[in-house]
Amino acid sequence: MFTQVKYWNPYIGPFDPCPPMRVKSYQTPPNLYIGFQPPNMEQYSPRQALHCGTLWPAFYSPYPSDGREEE
Amino acid sequence: MSRTLPPEYYELLEELQAVDFVLVELTLYLDTHPNDYNAIQQFNHFAKQSKQLRKQYEELYGPLMQYGKSYSGYPWNWDDAPWPWQV
Amino acid sequence: MWNYEKKLQYPVRVSTCNPRLAKFLIEQYGGADGELAAALRYLNQRYSIPDKVIGLLTDIGTEEFAHLEMIATMVYKLTKDATPEQMKEAGLGAHYATHDKALFYHNAAGVPWTASYIQAKGDPIADLYEDIAAEEKARATYQWIINMSDDPDLNDGLKFLREREIIHSQRFREAVEILKEERDKQIYF
């Protein structure tokens, strides 16, 4: 199952001056996974499409994603 | 000098923006999927809807386009505020 | 030729007068990965790209001008009624001294836009990979600006623009597949 955000744990050195951020994240939006768009994909209504910035729910990428800036 | 636009203005504008946005999405899609018959039918359907909405909008709030793509009122009302960044 | 439409692509709203956010946002107006650079990059590359993808470069390049107008609208609204004192506090004192409230094609650090931000190698694959990278960089820039913004209305417009970068990247990726001429072998998943 694909997620739109990935997490990693950077190395924490004993002399890092700022309090360490133990978990860092980056975005992996849907366009990285779909390949050549297949025909007849499910669509939003025109109003919904405008507000989501795309006609197809499969390409919708909410930001900030859930759980992003946590910890 | 500046008239306040009624809530119906924003409602109609957004309706047009929504229909035109579908046309933008279908345009880019068809640029890479030129043989998708269903998408072309949908494109033509929304193109017609956009034309009807534009006619309605322009009768109430003035021309959307220049160089003869829209009719003018009297006096020349292209220059009338508000411009898109002002509304 | 081009035709102007007297409407924005998306209903842009801004909740508070906030010149500090305008200072960051100007990155997407006149920065390396901003909307001006994007529009000019695609509309310039299209003259020498294979015919099959000229339409796509034309249409995405044109949409970028609609995004440029959205960014201009945001900057205009964020600074419209700011006092010189507010401009100074927001780090826009130097901008105000030169331009008053006028917009200018420079990045968040005040560096003017330059043609060296865009590439045109003439090699279709090199150019399309450049375009994909440009879209991903613009997406990232929108993320960093949203991370610093506390204006929900402004963020609504910025999220729309971030999503458009994702769709443009998708279409450029498809254009690469078209030029590889292996579309029939493409596996849908």
Q: Does C75 touch chain B (CB under 8 A)?
A: no
Tell me phi and psi for residue A37, to 5 degrees.
-60, 125
Counting the structural domains of chain A, the total is 1
Task: Name the pLDDT band for C118 (thresholds 50, 70, 90).
Answer: very high
Is A26 among the domain residues?
yes
The CA distances from residue C11 to C38, C44, C53, C160, in Å, are 21, 29, 30, 10
This prediction has a pTM of 0.95
Distance CA C152, CA C14 (A): 8
Per-residue pLDDT tens digits for A29-71: 999 999 999 999 999 999 999 999 999 999 999 999 754 443 3
CATH superfamily of C19-114+121-183: Ferritin, core subunit, four-helix bundle (1.20.1260.10)
Question: How far is A51 from chain C, CA to nearest CA, in Å?
Answer: 7
Distant-in-sequence, close-in-space partners of A41: CB < 8 Å, separation ≥ 6: A56, A58
Distance CA C187, CA C177 (A): 12
Q: Which two three-digit tokens encode residue C171?
A: 């279409």
Q: Do C166 and A36 touch (CB under 8 A)?
A: no
Q: What is the per-residue pLDDT for A68?
A: 47
Is A68 among the domain residues?
no
3-state helix, strand, coil in chain C (%, to 5): 65, 0, 30
The label of the residue with tokens 């006028």 reads: C102
Distant-in-sequence, close-in-space partners of A61: CB < 8 Å, separation ≥ 6: A4, A27, A29, A30, C162, C163, C166
Distance CA C189, CA A35 (A): 7
Percent of chain C with pLDDT over 90: 95
Per-residue pLDDT of chain B (87 residues; tens, 9 = 90+): 457 899 999 999 999 999 999 999 999 999 999 999 999 999 999 999 999 999 999 999 999 999 999 999 999 999 999 999 999
Per-residue pLDDT tens digits for C70-114: 999 999 999 999 999 999 999 999 999 999 999 999 999 999 999
In the stretch 5-44 of chain B, residues with CB closer than 8 A to chain A read 14-15, 17-19, 21-22, 25-26, 29, 32-33, 36, 38-39
Mutate to test the interface with A, among B22, B24, B43, B50 (most CBs of A within 10 A): B22
Q: What is the per-residue pLDDT for A29?
A: 97
Residue A21, pLDDT > 80, answer: yes
The label of the residue with tokens 């899609």 reads: B29
The full set of domain ranges for chain B reads 7-61
Q: What is the per-residue pLDDT for C20?
A: 96
Residue C180, pLDDT > 60, answer: yes
Q: Do B31 and C56 touch (CB under 8 A)?
A: yes
Is A66 among the domain residues?
no
Its sign, for the CA torsion C71, C73, C77, C79, is: positive
The number of beta carbons lying within 10 Å of the beta carbon of residue C22 is 28
Is A64 among the domain residues?
no
Domain extent at residue A27 = 5-59
The residue-averaged pLDDT of C128-153 equals 97
Distance CA C113, CA C105 (A): 6
The CA distances from residue B79 to B47, C6, C24, C76, in Å, are 27, 10, 31, 19
Run of H or E including A26: strand A24-27
Q: What is the per-residue pLDDT for B72?
A: 94
Task: Name the pLDDT band for C183 (thresholds 50, 70, 90).
Answer: low
> With a cut of 0.90, is the ipTM above it?
yes
The full set of domain ranges for chain C reads 19-114+121-183
Q: Which two three-digit tokens encode residue C46?
A: 């299209």
Q: What is the per-residue pLDDT for A69?
A: 43
Question: How far is B2 from chain C, CA to nearest CA, in Å?
Answer: 16
